[in-house]
Amino acid sequence: MNKNYYAIIMAGGIGSRFWPISRTSYPKQFLDILGTGKTLIQNTYDRFLKVCPKENIYVVTNENYAGLVKTQLPDMQNSQILTEPVMRNTAPCIAYGCFKIESMNPDAAIVVAPSDHLILDEAAFISAIEKSLKVASEKECLITLGIKPSRPDTGYGYIQFTDNAINDEFHKVKTFTEKPNLELAKTFIQSGDFLWNAGIFVWSAKSIVKAFVRYQPEMNEIFAEARSVYNTDGEKAHVHKAYQQCTNISIDYGIMEKADNVYVLPSEFGWSDLGTWASIYQLAEKDYVGNAVIPSEKVIMYDSSNCMVNVPADKLVVLQGLHDFIVVESNNTLLICPRDQEQNVKQVVADVKTKFGTKYI
C-alpha cells in the first residue's frame, strides 16, 4: 500500500433533509440509514482502508461530532480527527485537511470524499480512486470523479468535459453547472459530454496548495500560517480561531470552477449521494406494491403502495390507504408527507425550530 496516499472524509453536515431521523446532534453520516449494519461513515472509512494506510485517513467534522467519530471509528487517533468550530462549507474544511497533510508529507496524493455517499460497486470505486491518485502524483492537475448519468436528474450538479484527455481517460473539464431544471438536464444527457458531479476529488498536496495560493489567497494565508502548529498541542486552538476568518464557500466555487488544470474521470460504481428520502426509496428493497419499509418487522400495510416507511423497530405501525407517502418516526417526532413534496422537509425543519426551538431539531 502506497504510504504517500491519503484520504480526507468530510463529515460535518447536519443532513436536514433526513429529519427527523437525522438530527443536529446525530446527523445522517452517523446513522445506519439503509439498514446494512454499518453507519454511512463506517462504510466510507472501510472503503478507504483498501486505498491507503489507516494512519493516513483523516476525518474533518464539526467539533460537536468528534466524540461520535471516535466512537464509530475507534481505530482513529485524535490527531486524525480534525474539528471545525463553525460550518464554513467545503473549501475551508478541505484546506485544513490538505494543508495539514502537506506539512507532514509534501509528496502526498489525497482523495477527498463525503462521509455519507453510497457506493455499490466497491471494486470499481477503488480502481477509479487508485488510478486518480497515480495520475495526480505524476501530473499537476486537480481531478474530480464524474458519474455517467442514467437519467436527467435535477438533484445533481453536472460536469461538462472535452476530448482533451490525460491517458485517454481523464478529460479536461469545460464547465460546472449547478442543479439544472428538467429540460436542461435532458439536454445534458442527450449531448453525451456531461456527467454527474459526485463531489469526490483527487489531487497532490502540492497541486491543491498551489490552487489555494492562486485562487483563494486569504484562505491560503490562514492555513499556511498554521503550518508551525499542525500536529502540536496548539493546533486545535489556532485553527479554531483562524476558522472564524474563513469565507463560507464551496471547493467547487472557490477552486474547481476557476482553475485551468481540472480533469474529470468518467466513472460507474453504483453511486448515490443519499441526499433525500427519494434516493433511499430508490435503493431500498420494496414489496410487490412498491413499499420500502425499514425496518419491516412490526409494520402492517393495507391498501397502501409506493410508500417509504422508516419507524423504530419496536413500534407496531399500521397504515391503511396510503399511496406514495413518506412515513418517518424518530426522536419523539412523526413525519408524514407525500413523496413528491419531500423537498419541503427543509422548510418544515425551519418552521419547527421557529415554533418549538431546537428541542426537536
The per-residue pLDDT for range 180-209, each reduced to its tens digit, is 888 899 999 988 899 999 999 999 999 999
What pLDDT score was predicted for residue 280? Answer: 87
Cell numbers linked to 308: 417509504
What pLDDT score was predicted for residue 282? Answer: 86
In the chain, residues under CATH classification 3.90.550.10 are: 5-272
Give the whole-angstrom CA distance, residue 26 versus residue 288. 33
Q: Residue 345 pLDDT more than 90?
A: no
Cβ-contact 339, 308 below 8 angstroms:
yes
| The CA-based dihedral angle spanning residues 247, 251, 256, 262, taken in that order and rounded to the nearest 10 degrees | 140
- pLDDT tens for each residue of 297-309: 899 999 999 999 9
Q: Residue 179 pLDDT more than 90?
A: no
Q: Residue 295 pLDDT more than 80?
A: no
The pTM for the full model equals: 0.93
What pLDDT score was predicted for residue 140? Answer: 95
What pLDDT score was predicted for residue 181? Answer: 87
Q: Residue 117 pLDDT more than 90?
A: yes
Above pLDDT 70, what percent of the chain? 100
Q: How many helices (H) and strands (E) does the chain have?
A: 11, 17
Rg (CA), the chain: 21
What pLDDT score was predicted for residue 292? Answer: 94
Does 5-272 carry CATH code 3.40.47.10? no
Cis ω on the peptide bond leading into residue 20 (within 30° of 0)?
Answer: yes
What pLDDT score was predicted for residue 279? Answer: 83
CA distances from 320 to 140, 166, 330 (A): 59, 57, 20
The β-bridge relationship of strands 308-310 and 325-330 is parallel
Which residue, 282, 333, 323, 277, is CA-closest to 301?
323
What DSSP string describes 216-267? -HHHHHHHHHGGGTTTSTTHHHHHHHHHTTS----HIIIIITT-S-EEEEEE
What pLDDT score was predicted for residue 170? Answer: 96
- pLDDT tens for each residue of 3-52: 999 999 999 988 888 899 988 889 999 998 887 889 999 999 999 999 99
Q: Residue 276 pLDDT more than 90?
A: no
**Which residue has cell 418549538?**
356
Q: Residue 296 pLDDT more than 80?
A: no
The β-bridge relationship of strands 317-320 and 325-330 is unpaired
What pLDDT score was predicted for residue 234? Answer: 94
**Which residue has cell 485517513?**
57
The residues pairing with 325 across neighbouring beta strands, listed in sequence order, are 338
- pLDDT tens for each residue of 142-152: 999 999 998 88
The residues pairing with 119 across neighbouring beta strands, listed in sequence order, are 271
**Which residue has cell 410508500?**
307
3-state secondary structure (DSSP) of residue 184: helix
**Which residue has cell 486545535?**
236
Which residue, 95, 176, 142, is CA-closest to 260?
142
What pLDDT score was predicted for residue 14? Answer: 83
Q: Residue 65 pLDDT more than 90?
A: yes
Above pLDDT 90, what percent of the chain? 76
What pLDDT score was predicted for residue 124? Answer: 97
What pLDDT score was predicted for residue 323? Answer: 97
- pLDDT tens for each residue of 201-224: 999 999 999 999 999 999 999 999
Mean pLDDT of 241-246: 91
Which residue, 11, 7, 8, 32, is CA-closest to 330?
32
